[in-house]
Every structure is written in structure tokens, then in C-alpha cells.
Amino acid sequence: EKEYTDSCKQVKQQIAQIECQPDSEFKERVEQVKNEQLPTKEVLVLLEKMLAADEIAQQQLQLEHKQLQSEMQVLATRIAQGQQRKQSEQLLHQLTLEKAKNEQDLLAAKQRYQQASEKGKEIEPLAEKIALIQHQLADYSECDRLKQYIQTLEKRIEKMQAQLVDKTTEQQILQTQSVSAKQEYTDLQQAGEEKLKLEAEQKTITTTLETLRTLQRSLQELHKLDTEYRSKVLDYQKKQQVADVQAQQYQQMNRAYLDAQAGILAQQLQPDVACPVCGSKSHPKPAQITLEAPSEQQLKESEQKYQTYNRQMNEASAEAGRYRGAVLEKSTALQQQAEPLFGQIDLKTFQQPLLIRGRQVAQQLKECQEKIAVQTKRMQRKQQLEQQIQQQEQQAEVLQAEIARINEALAGDKTALATSQQQTHQFAQKLAYPNEAQAKAAQAEFSQQKKQIEAELAQAEQVCAEVKEKATVLATKITQLEKTIAQLPDEDVQQQQAKSAMLEQQDTAILQQEKMLHARFAKHDQIRKTILNKLDESTRLEQRLQLIKSLSQTANGSLSGKERIMLETYVQMTYFDRIIRRANKRLLVMTNGQYELKRSTQAEDNRNKSGLELDVVDHYNGTERSVKTLSGGESFKASLSLALGLSDEIQSSAGGIRLETMFVDEGFGSLDEESLAQAIKALSDLTDGNRLVGIISHVSELKNRIEKQVIVTKEKSGGSRITIVT
């Protein structure tokens, strides 16, 4: 239905988009279409006519556009020729001015070339100076090298003299340190033997200290065992007292119970009938029952408590005995361990001497370890000195060799310094400049002057040639422009441009109108196609809607004048009828054939949903009424019957599922004695098929009717107690 409505709405939307000019012949018809005064098929006919008219108008506009384009092309050619003639005349005037200026430039270029030629006579003397310096560059380089070498030798000689002083001082200091180290090494010769003696002593002290620590742990364990033993003894004494009290209570209760038995037997005595105890037929003074006598159950409970407390007492006694044995065993072992160090000891006062002896041994161990540490450091120092002495001897040999090497190198450098100074003096007498850098600077300056003069001469010659060439080019261009101007017509360019602009405006208006017509044509054509498609779609949807709407109303129970039964309810009604048939087998038994359930086929109001209401048939008076009229007990029977019917139906149709257990919670209190018996009979029949039925109830009459019971009794002290009766 929504798709059909949407399709119709889309057709209306398409019709609303139809456009029409105010002066169009179709204006009145378009208004009728938009006001829905014409059928949809007439709209399609109108669109066809409008499309045909727009197509003819587009063709006419295209023809006018072509004619204007042809006229504009002719005008463009004439405007281009006029502009070309005007540009050529302007260029000819400019070239004439340039020709006059070029003649002046040519005169100046010739004068500049003459001046550069006079200055060019200096080039040859400069070249000779440059060649001379170039020839002596090797001597300059060698002289500079000798000067640098002299500086290097002077620095090196100064450095070696300082090194010689340092090495000599270092040699003297090393000799002093070596003598001191050898003396200290001699004093430390016995350090290793002392350390071995102290380590043996440390091992003995450590063994003694470990033994004392073991004795300390054993003594602590003995004290802990003794404390636990005393705790177990106290626990035993407490449980003994409780057991004695309970035994006394049980004996008193047993005596009272036995005394009460005589009173119970005396109540059964009859005149001239022998007593079952003494055999006498006369009973002058029968015993009486006392109110304080306990019951047999109370006596049993008292006996159980007595046995429990007595068992707890025996367990506590055994536990205390076990701890006593552990204490004795630990004491004997501790005395045996302590005897080598302390002889015979008293365990009660052994803690104090054990602590004193432990502190003493620990102090001895500490002092021994400190002595070992001292000897260890002396041994380490001895090893360091041994390495140090060896290194000092090696350093002394190295220093002696370095001093000899420095003296030899110093003598060679002094000889080389004298030779180099003499060679440098010889070079200085024959060279014009102090060093190579200044010579090269002078050479570079001469080269720069020579290049500048050559460049000025070449530039003057080039400028002169360029000016001559430009004069030739200008003459050629002027001749060509004069010929071109003579061939072009003399047109009024502004007048032709104004005419072309007017034609262009006309063409733009035509193109705009054609574009608008094309857009409207495309839009109306699309509207026509859409309306055609939507008309076919609406027809198809309308036919399907008529069919589906009827089916929907039937399945949803919304047909006017019919019962409002949902499809889901309709399916449930079928299963409900099966359950009712099975439930009636139970209900007829429970009500002695009076009542039978029936699904109601008449709704109270056709506007409301229906289909799962229940009525009851009363076979005693032949009436049919709602189940709401049943009493409380009758409603319980009906509910129980439906539950059993549902169980039977599930078991019958669920593919192998068996409902073997069910519970009925309360509900029996509303039944009279006869109804109760009928309900119990129906439930008992279920147990014949290996089913278990549990009834939860407070009704006392059920206790006599049900053999197997689970009785829950609330305790005053909290919680509850369960008793099973079979």
C-alpha cells in the first residue's frame, strides 16, 4: 500500500515540474493538469505536443545562429586587416626612429674602438713581466719551503729540549719510588702464612657457631612444643570436665527414665491380673508417673551428647600424649647435642649460657675475620708491589732509551737548521719579491691588467660590428613594411568592431534562448518517460494491493463483521483444542463427570481479539458458561487438568521428550474432602506410568493420604530440619 501511494505521489511530483511560458498556447492546459482537472493520459498527450513545439523552435534558432556566425566571420576578417595596417604603420614609424639613433651609435662605436687600439700597445710589456715571474715561481716555492722547514726545526728543537728535561726528572723520581717499593715488599713477605693460620682458626670458630645456632633453634622448637603440649593438656582438662558433667546428666536422666517405666507399667495393671514384673495379682501401692520424667527421645539425645563429649575427651587425651612424647624426644636430642660444648645441662636455665656462649663465639669470629681482612689486604699490597717493581724497572729502561733517542734527534735537527738558514739567504739575494705569495699576487695583477685591455679592445670591436649589422637589418625591415602597407586596405576599424559587437549580442541572446529550450525539452522528455514508467508501476501495484490487502485483513483478523483472530492465535487454537481434549479426561474424573472444558467460539466483542477463551459445560444441568464462574476448588481442578493435559500433549508430539516429573504447589486447601480425594486419585494414576508427582502443601489431611513424605520443620535456633518418611 505504501509503494502504491508513493508511486502515485511521484507521478504528481513529475506533473508539478512541467514548465510553460506565460504567452504559450499551452498555458491554460498546463494549469488544468497541475490542478488535477485532466486524467494522466491527457497529460502525456499534452507533453508530446509541447515537446514537438519546442523542437521546431530550436531548429529555427539554430538557423538564425548560423547566419549570424557567417556575417561575424566576414567582419572579423576586415577588422583584422585594418588592425594589421595600423600596426604596420606604427612599426614603420618606430623603425625610422631607430635607424636615426643607430647612425649616432655607429659614430660613437668607431671612436671607442680607436681609443682601445691605442691602449692595446701596453699588452706586450705586461706579458713579459708575467713570464718572468712564472719562470721564478719554482725558486719562490723552494724558498718558502725552506722558511717553513726552519720554523718547524726550531719548534721541534725547543720541544725536544723540554722533553729531555722532563724525562731526566721522571727518571730520578722513578728511581726513588723503586727503592721505597722494594723495602715495603720485603716487609710483607709473611702475609700469606698468617692468612692461612687465621682461615683455619675461622673455620673452627664457624663450626662452633653453627652448632650453637642449631642448639638455639632446637631449644626454641622445644619451647614451642612444650607450650603446645600445655595447651593440649588444658584442652583435655576442659573437655574432661564437660564430659563428666554430661555423663552425670545422662545418668540422672536415665535413672529418671527407668523410674518412670514403673509408673507406665503400673497404669496397665488390672485387679486379679498378674503383674508382668513381680507376678502378684494384688497391687496395693502401684508406682506413679512423675512429670519430670524424660522421654525416650530426650534420653537418646542425652546419650548421643555424652558419647560425643566422651569421644572428644579421648581424642584430646591422645593428642596431649602425642605432644608429650615429642617434648621428651626433643629434650633428649638437645642434651646429646649440647654435651660436647656444655657437658650436662639444665634445659630450664640453658637459654642464658647458650646466648652468652653464642655472643662470645660470634665476637671471636668477627675478630678473626677482621684479622683475615688485614692479611688479605697485605697480600694484595704485596702482589701490587711485585707488579709495581717490575713495571718501574721496565719504565726505567724505556726512559733511558728515550733520553738517548732525544739527544740523537736533537743533534741532527741542529745541523739541518744551520744548512737551511744558509740556503734561504742565497734565495733572498736573487728574487724580487720576499715570498711566493707576493710574487703570485704581482703576476695576477699584471694578468688582470692585460685581460682588461684585451677585453676592452674586443668589446669595442664587437660593438662596432653589431651596430653595423643592426643598420642593415633596419633597412631591410623598413623596405618590407612599406610593401605590406601598400597591399592592405584602409578600413575604419572602430566602426567595424561596433557592428561586430552588435551581431555578437544578437547571437548570445539566440544561444541563451536555445539553451533554455533545450533544457526544457530534456526536462519534459524525462517527465514523460517517468510518468509512463510510474503509470505501469501504479497499475501493477494497485492490482497486487487488492489481493494482498484482502489476505492481510484475513490473516490479521481485521475483516469487518468477523471475529478478530490473529494468525498466530489461529494456529494456537489447534493445539489448544488437543490440550483441552486431554485435560477433560482428568477433569471428568475429578468432578464425577459434572464438568468438561470447551474453547469458546463466540467473542465477547468483534472489535477485540479472540480465539483462546474457555467455557465450561455443566453436564448436571446441561448449561454452558465461562470458566470465570467456577468456585475456587473447581478452578483448581480445572487448572490441574489443563496442566496434565499440556504435559500429555507435549510428551505425545515433541518427538521422544518425556515429562517424568511434576510439582503441584499449594491449591489443595480450597478443596473439600471429596474433591481432595478425587484430585489425589488423578495424581496417583500418573505414578502408575513411572512418573514422579511432588505435592507442596500445608494441608494436614494430605499426610494421611501420601505415603512418601519430605517434612521440613523450622528450628527455634534458626534454620530448618528435614525428615524423610517412607
Q: Is 232's pLDDT higher than 80?
A: yes
> Ranked by mean pLDDT, which of 75-89, 159-173, 573-587 comes out on top?
573-587
**CA-wise closest residue to 670 among 647, 705, 640:** 640
Q: What pLDDT does residue 246 have?
A: 86
Q: What pLDDT does residue 314 have?
A: 87
- The 3-class secondary structure across 193-242, one letter per residue, is HHHHHHHHHHHHHHHHHHHHHHHHHHHHHHHHHHHHHHHHHHHHHHHHHH
Our measurement of the distance from residue 202's CA atom to the centroid of its chain's CA atoms, rounded to an integer in Å, reads 62
Query: Who wins on pLDDT, 656 or 548?
Result: 548
Task: Tell me what percent of the residues of the chain surpass a pLDDT of 90.
Answer: 4
Q: Computed over its alpha carbons, how large is the radius of gyration of the chain? A: 70
Please check whether residue 150 is in contact with residue 424, taking contact to mean a CB–CB distance below 8 angstroms: yes
Q: How many CA atoms lie within 13 A of 409 on its CB side?
A: 16
Among the residue ranges 278-292, 327-341, 569-583, 688-702, the one predicted with the least confidence is 278-292
**CA-wise closest residue to 195 among 461, 1, 373:** 373
Please check whether residue 27 is in contact with residue 21, taking contact to mean a CB–CB distance below 8 angstroms: yes
pTM for this predicted structure:
0.29
pLDDT, tens digit, for every residue of 550-566?
888 777 767 776 666 77
Annotate 385-410 with b (16+ C-beta within 10 A) or e (fewer): beebbeebeeeeeebeeebeebeeeb
The one-letter amino acid at 295:
S
Q: What pLDDT does residue 594 have?
A: 92
CA angle, residues 175, 176, 182, in degrees to nearest 5: 90
Q: What pLDDT does residue 576 have?
A: 92
Compute how many other C-beta atoms are within 10 angstroms of the C-beta atom of residue 661: 9
Residues in the chain: 726
For every residue of 569-596, DSSP letters joined together read: HHHHHHHHHHHHHHHHHHHHHHTTT-EE
What is d(CA 615, CA 625) in angstroms, rounded to the nearest whole number?
5
Please check whether residue 350 is in contact with residue 337, taking contact to mean a CB–CB distance below 8 angstroms: no
What is d(CA 79, CA 650) in angstroms, rounded to the nearest whole number?
105
- Chain mean pLDDT for the chain: 79
Q: Is 581's pLDDT higher than 90?
A: yes
Report residue 517's pLDDT band, with 50, 70 and 90 as the boundaries. confident
Enter the C-alpha cell of residue 462.
664587437
For every residue of 52-81, DSSP letters joined together read: HHHHHHHHHHHHHHHHHHHHHHHHHHHHHH
Question: Going by C-beta distance under 8 Å and a sequence separation of 6 or more, which residues neighbour residue 290?
Answer: 256, 259, 260, 263
Q: What pLDDT does residue 606 have?
A: 47
Enter the C-alpha cell of residue 556.
490479521
CA angle, residues 98, 100, 103, in degrees to nearest 5: 110
What is d(CA 661, CA 694) in angstroms, rounded to the nearest whole number?
8
Q: What pLDDT does residue 310 have?
A: 86
Q: What pLDDT does residue 563 have?
A: 66
pLDDT, tens digit, for every residue of 463-506?
888 878 777 887 888 788 778 777 776 766 677 777 777 878 88
For every residue of 387-455, DSSP letters joined together read: HHHHHHHHHHHHHHHHHHHHHHHHHHHHHHHHHHHHHHHHHHHH-SSSSHHHHHHHHHHHHHHHHHHHH
**Average pLDDT, stretch 576-595?**
91
What is d(CA 364, CA 207) in angstroms, rounded to the nearest whole number?
12
What is d(CA 544, CA 15) in angstroms, rounded to the nearest whole number?
25
pLDDT, tens digit, for every residue of 606-647?
445 556 789 999 999 989 998 889 887 788 888 888 888 888
